[in-house]
Chain A
Amino acid sequence: MASGKVLYPLYQLGNPQLRIFRPNFFMTLVRPGVPQPEDTVQFRISMQMTRVDVKNYLEKIYNVPVSVVRTRIQYGANNKRNHKNQRVKKPDYKVAYVQLGQGQTFQFPNLFPEKEETPEPGSIEDIQKQFMEKERQRQTADPRRGGVTDWFGL
């Protein structure tokens, strides 16, 4: 199968099942905007895919047990305007809500955890960090003044 304009052979009752090698369909797993039940996974799929296609795709390629798939089409807004005052359309896309079978659950992970970077001694980042720390120490006021600024007094 292929997303986009592709001519499929004509189907009439009794014809053999259409076989396609190298399907051109891609599925994007997205974090749900609205909290979903634990067994539901949200995908953005091509407009040409059906829920049967999604089920077969996941079962055959990813070996994921699927019980039910529901789909909807999200309309992309046409309100924004460019510098020529022409309307710019955001593309439409299809969303699939897949409920996993065999009692499996799925939670969208955090793909951008904050990592503590320890810079190598001698590298530019290390020198920069040390310099900034020295500057900060220099600019702190005398603790004996108790928080009073140095505009006052002698």
Chain B
Amino acid sequence: MAAALCRRFFSAVRVSGVLQAPPGACLSGLTLNLLHKNSTKVEPLYQCKFLHTTLSRKGLEEFFDDPKNWGETVVKSGDEWHAKHLRNKSNEDLHKLWYVLLKEKNMLLTLEQEAKRQSLPMPSPERLEKVEKSMGRINLVIKEREVALRLLQTGHENPRPGEWRNDFLGRTYWYNSKEWPIPWYLNKKYNRRKFFYLPHVKHFIRLRIEQHLKKQARMKSLEKKKQFLLQKKFPHLAAQSQN
């Protein structure tokens, strides 16, 4: 499975340098095909030959593992993709890797469901976790890149506009803006919301701050007490402080 994954991915990566946008692997969005039945496809004019990058084009067979692995109790799989390795890959490569991992996850989910159906253990279930983690890391790397670009271009970190606001209880929170078809002053429900607090709430803000500080002090003293007890019980295991 790992070999097939690697083969699929590296064949995709090898060709990415040659093409601008390979048609077979162009998966940049799922459009509503049904509405445009008579649309003509405009083929872009490229000088280089089109090469198909997918290894196997067997359709529904990709929902299942290599037939040699059917019936095995243990299927060997390689390491998962780590963030430091993914950061070295280009956006196109990450995009293609995402779909490779997506297909792999679909295959593992079908296998899991079939194993439950037959009341048999699924061979090597750790593969699912590996794939999920790798996909999460791809998202992380791409978010990092987006945040960096956005900071340079606009100076904002998050894509959704927002601001710090007070509610009617005096609490300060990050208010995330929402997209509306009407302006805010015509929004009846929004106008009923209060983003300010009346003077009598100031007393309760002080009480809340006091509560928070007391809780922090409690946690700190508990930690100190635990350290003291450990020191008393195991003096020989005390960490050597560098003097």
* B-binding residues in A (CB < 8 A): 1, 7, 9-10, 12, 17-23, 26-31, 41, 44, 52-53, 55-57, 59-64, 104, 106, 109-115
Contacts and interface: CB of A to CB of B under 8 A. Distances in A.
Contacts of A19: 28-29
A23 to B, nearest CB: 7
A112 B117 CA distance: 11
Given A52-B32, A61-B99, A110-B70, A30 B59 contact: no
A22 B138 contact: yes
B111 interface: yes
Contact of A64 (B33, B59, B106, B139): B59
A143 to B, nearest CB: 38
A45 B145 CA distance: 31
B72 A22 contact: no
Contacts of A18: 29
A23 B102 contact: yes
A17 B32 contact: yes
Interface residues of B, number: 44
Interface in B27-47: 27-34
Contacts of A55: 33-34
A62 B59 contact: yes
Contacts of B59: 62-64, 104
